[in-house]
Chain A
């Protein structure tokens, strides 16, 4: 590599890192509790006990569930009904309007076998909500998402340039060498290189999938204007429904259309995820992969008949796949623990990078470049 090329890559590594480091540290720190959000929430807000069923237990009637949910919330409309993956638990989300604002709704969980309601969930707030907002949009909505997405892009550039400057550094060193017993700086230079190269793929994947997740709102808009509009084209000129028909019938229709899938979420007519005239019943498969790749069955909300059922387009499937790869919630608790440890390594990586820059920021560029060549040993000896 010519000195000029190395110099360019070094400057790319320096500036992309410097601009993004503080925000990436924020993302790593807030991400740490979020890895375990399920476990934390279940500890502080345990799932309701499901009573054993007997012959006298009622069978769920979803229209009755909706009616009772609305009776408890005068003036509200139902946006979504959604279901837990591993337990027969569902929940009704209602709000004053079909579309945000307000962003959050009122959540009433129910037994998906009998339709019996449990204590409604408290409104969002508290520590985990703060972590989530700081991790996703900084309370700024779309601009916040896109800003953090841009920080993610800087991370990718920093990783790529980091690998490039890793090569000249390692020409005289064994892989995974950590030179202790010399200067602290040399030790941390070695550690920074080791941590970065050893966790490269994970940091890269979590970074890129994080960027894709920040695009969720634009991706949703693309789907609404594209596939969803296409599937519901015949309904375009019909007046909006005064009130939707049977949810129970819609669910039965969707289940018949995809017998080996389970219902994940029902979007009511007029909400973000459906048309004005349909229940959009999003179905999930049974494997870790297919349970993420939701498939919508559009059911005419008046007649209860199936209008259309298609695979989501590639950009939505990319978003769906990006979620587990970012969250680390697809391989049991051990994978979450590994995710957390890798996150801690990333924090040390960011911190050590900052430390290395602070120690040399007044040194001339030539001196800093010399440190990259041959692992900085020559420089140390000269001191």
Chain B
């Protein structure tokens, strides 16, 4: 199956949005805004850890 641009970029777009919110959030205020920044910028790190460590799913990309 060949994917279109939307299928390819929907997850990256979501990550970019979260990262953008994270970067701006801690500038706006402290407390809750800091928490939002840690979450927004922490999600890509968690995703990388999961993708790197999980066993290859059968059929994926074959």
Contacts and interface: CB of A to CB of B under 8 A. Distances in A.
Contacts of A195: 48
B61 A202 contact: no
A43 B33 CA distance: 28
Interface stretch (A96-104, A130-138, A325-333): A325-333
A200 B12 contact: yes
A283 interface: no
Interface stretch (A11-19, A166-174, A220-228, A230-238): A166-174
A342 B52 contact: no
Interface stretch (A77-85, A175-183, A296-304, A310-318): A175-183
A323 to B, nearest CB: 11
A179 B60 contact: yes
B46 to A, nearest CB: 10
Given A201-B19, A338-B45, A330 B26 contact: yes
Interface in B19-62: 19-20, 23, 25-30, 33-34, 37-38, 41-42, 44-45, 47-48, 50-52, 55-56, 60-62
Nearest to B34: A331
Interface residues of B, number: 38
Interface of B: 1-3, 5, 8-12, 15-16, 19-20, 23, 25-30, 33-34, 37-38, 41-42, 44-45, 47-48, 50-52, 55-56, 60-62
A171 B37 contact: no
A335 B34 contact: yes
A171 B4 CA distance: 7
Contact of A194 (B10, B48, B60): B48
A172 B62 CA distance: 9
A170 B3 contact: yes
A370 interface: no
A198 B48 contact: yes
Given A174-B61, A176-B51, A177-B61, A200 B16 contact: yes
A178 B60 CA distance: 9
In this complex, the interface size class of chain A, counting residues with CB under 8 Å from chain B, is 35 or more
Contact of B41 (A172, A174, A202, A375): A202
B7 to A, nearest CB: 9
Contacts of B29: 287-288
B1 A345 contact: no
Nearest to B1: A172
Contacts of A324: 27
Contact of B2 (A172, A179, A345): A172
Contact of B26 (A180, A199, A335): A335
Contacts of B56: 178-181
Given A175-B11, A201-B16, A330 B38 contact: no
A199 B34 CA distance: 19
